[in-house]
A and B are shown apart, each in its own frame.
Chain A
């Protein structure tokens, strides 16, 4: 069974500082990995995804993530935080085979950005 662990339920950074949100996955087959963002009282929006190919994935709003198979990680980064980045971030994994498709989510990391 696949699973996702997000280290740190709450990350606080200053505006302009580096954002690093950690995600480790467990999957018995090659995984597909996703990062979603949830703003207050809204649904989840896709930030970026890794399927195959290039291990450094660029997403929207200046975010990127690197797939490291040896470390089973898919950490999300942004060089310079903006106030508008404050939100809940979810890492998710799906398997690359099987007849059913579902995303398994981590427990989320709340990002706060201080002025």
Chain B
């Protein structure tokens, strides 16, 4: 199936740990994103990569480091996890940035719980 897939679906960890979330898309899109959805369901963009190049960084703490080994993958590494990092993290993709009218395709999310 063509899709945006992210792993793991659930991630429970303790404060101070380092964890990674992986995302892959097989839609042939050039642009990938990470969004954070908080407990009130508010969605906020964190990062955007176009063909492995960072193009949007929305003032995210530098404990969060995205990595894009190729345009089909965008991983998110989080250092020194804090309680406030608990949220659902969504990966998404879209065609090249100039296609402003193209919708985003979302993965099913990774629910991160920091205890």
The chain A residues found within 8 Å of chain B, CB to CB, are 32, 34, 36, 38, 41-46, 49, 51-52, 88, 90, 94-105, 107-108, 110
**Complex: A94 Cα to B55 Cα, angstroms:** 16
What 0/1 pattern do residues 1 to 33 of B give for CB contact below 8 A with A?
Answer: 000100000000000000000000000000101
**Complex: A98 Cα to B101 Cα, angstroms:** 12
Please count the residue pairs between chain A and chain B whose beta carbons lie under 8 angstroms apart in the complex: 69
Total number of B residues with any Cβ neighbor in A under 8 Å: 28
Q: Which residues of A contact B43 (CB under 8 A)?
A: 44, 90, 105, 108
In chain B between 70 and 106, which residues have their CB closer than 8 angstroms to a CB of chain A? 90, 92, 94, 97-106
Q: Which residues of B contact A108 (CB under 8 A)?
A: 41-43
| Cross-interface CB contact of A95 among B44, B48, B100, cutoff 8 Å | B100
Shortest CB-to-CB span from A22 to chain B, Å, is 17
Q: Which among A38, A42, A96, A98 has the highest number of chain B CB atoms within 10 Å?
A: A38
Q: Is B109's beta carbon under 8 Å from chain A?
A: yes
Q: Which 9 A-B pairs have the closest CB atoms?
A: A43-B106, A51-B101, A101-B97, A105-B43, A46-B103, A44-B106, A43-B108, A108-B41, A32-B101
Given contacts A100-B56, A100-B97, A101-B94, contact A34 B40 (CB under 8 A): no
By the criterion CB–CB under 8 Å, are B100 and A32 in contact?
Answer: yes
Q: Which residues of A contact B66 (CB under 8 A)?
A: none
By the criterion CB–CB under 8 Å, are B100 and A43 in contact?
Answer: no
